[in-house]
């Protein structure tokens, strides 16, 4: 028997956790696992320190159950992030923690954590019901950028086929996920694109989102990812960098790359997290003070 299966069976109250400022991949992974634990008739809670933007994530099963409360009776934490303490918003407890993340040693070739969760279910002959299939399919769709990511493999399409056969509705999910751009998001995109610059002979594209842009547009930090996805398709661009001012007084960097340009070393240098072709980190400085140094570090580490 898989050791995690045994651990779950021996637990009385399980906390399924997504990281701060969660993306679709983390929330969908947590949702699928939350459903699985429910089928075991175990007591389970869905935790996220950040407030969930329901207009964006409303189609993920059980998303309305996510909250920021931790019961003292929790005896197992299942974490869908690479760092259970700095990125989850929880304090260290004497509780067993299991990590699911696509940067862990389970499978570094996975494009998202939802793939790891799916494979865990399949390897352990766990029945995937419609809610689980829907959550995993949404996560796969977003992680693969609607199957446009360059590192998509045949196994990813096989996973999609299996999830559809298990109840995920591709047409309905695709329509809801990719037809929900808010007016605020479009306003932010317009402001950010006005500040777009190219560097290193067009190999790096840089955009920024200032506090003023967020106020003028009414958008949030998560809306910057839509713009980052768009500029990544520019001709000749290999690395896309987005720097965003936050209410916490730090600058958040979101970076993605194509081809064989790896970002793991860059993420490690700044104490962030990520995988081969995407990473995020924060810097205790404003955008104007750090963007040149970040651009130079990208060239030194990634484009050498």
- 102-145 pLDDT, tens per residue? 444 455 567 788 999 999 999 999 999 999 999 999 999 988 87
Q: Which of 3-12, 47-56, 272-281 is the least confident region?
A: 272-281
Quick: pLDDT tens for 24-49.
888 999 999 999 999 999 999 999 98
Fold of 3-178: inorganic pyrophosphatase (n-terminal core) (3.90.1640)
Contact between 40 and 34 under an 8 Å Cβ cutoff? The reply is no
Question: Does the pLDDT of residue 12 top 90, yes or no?
Answer: yes
Give domain limits for the chain: 3-178, 185-302
The tens digit of pLDDT for each residue in 60-75 reads: 999 999 998 888 899 9
Give the integer Cα–Cα distance in Å for 43 and 151: 38
- Segment 161-175 shows an average pLDDT of 95
Name every residue whose Cβ is closer than 8 Å to that of residue 194 and which is 6 or more positions away in sequence.
Answer: none
Q: Under DSSP, is residue 45 helix (H, G, I), strand (E, B) or coil?
A: strand
Provide φ and ψ at 216, rounded to 5°: -65, -35
pLDDT of residue 91: 62
CATH fold of 185-302? Diaminopimelate Epimerase; Chain A, domain 1 (3.10.310)
């Amino acid at each position: 028997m898989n050791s995690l299966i045994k651990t779950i069976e021996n637990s009385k109250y399980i906390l399924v956790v997504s990281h701060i400022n969660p993306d679709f991949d983390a929330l969908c992974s947590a949702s699928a696992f939350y459903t699985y634990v429910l089928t075991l008739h175990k007591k389970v809670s869905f935790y996220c320190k950040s407030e969930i933007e329901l207009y964006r994530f409303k189609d993920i099963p059980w998303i309305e159950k996510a909250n920021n409360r931790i019961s003292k009776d929790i005896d197992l934490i299942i974490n869908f992030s690479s760092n259970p303490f700095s990125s989850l918003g929880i304090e260290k407890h004497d509780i067993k923690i299991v990590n699911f993340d696509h940067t862990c040693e389970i499978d570094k070739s996975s494009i998202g954590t939802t793939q790891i969760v799916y494979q865990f279910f399949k390897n352990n002959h766990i029945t995937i019901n419609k809610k689980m299939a829907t959550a995993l399919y949404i996560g796969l769709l977003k992680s693969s950028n609607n199957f446009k990511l360059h590192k998509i493999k045949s196994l990813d399409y096989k996973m999609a086929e299996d999830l559809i056969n298990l109840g995920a509705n591709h047409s309905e999910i695709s329509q809801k996920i990719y037809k929900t751009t808010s007016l605020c998001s479009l306003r932010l995109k317009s402001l950010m694109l006005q500040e777009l610059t190219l560097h290193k002979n067009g190999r790096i594209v840089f955009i920024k989102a200032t506090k003023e842009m967020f106020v003028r547009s009414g958008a949030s930090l998560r809306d910057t990812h839509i713009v980052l996805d768009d500029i990544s398709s520019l001709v000749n661009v290999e690395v896309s960098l987005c720097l965003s001012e936050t209410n916490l007084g730090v600058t958040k960097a979101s970076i993605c790359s194509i081809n064989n340009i790896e970002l793991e070393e860059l993420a490690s240098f700044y104490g962030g997290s990520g995988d081969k072709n995407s990473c995020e980190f924060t810097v205790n400085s404003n955008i104007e003070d750090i963007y040149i140094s970040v651009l130079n570090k990208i060239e030194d580490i990634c484009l050498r």
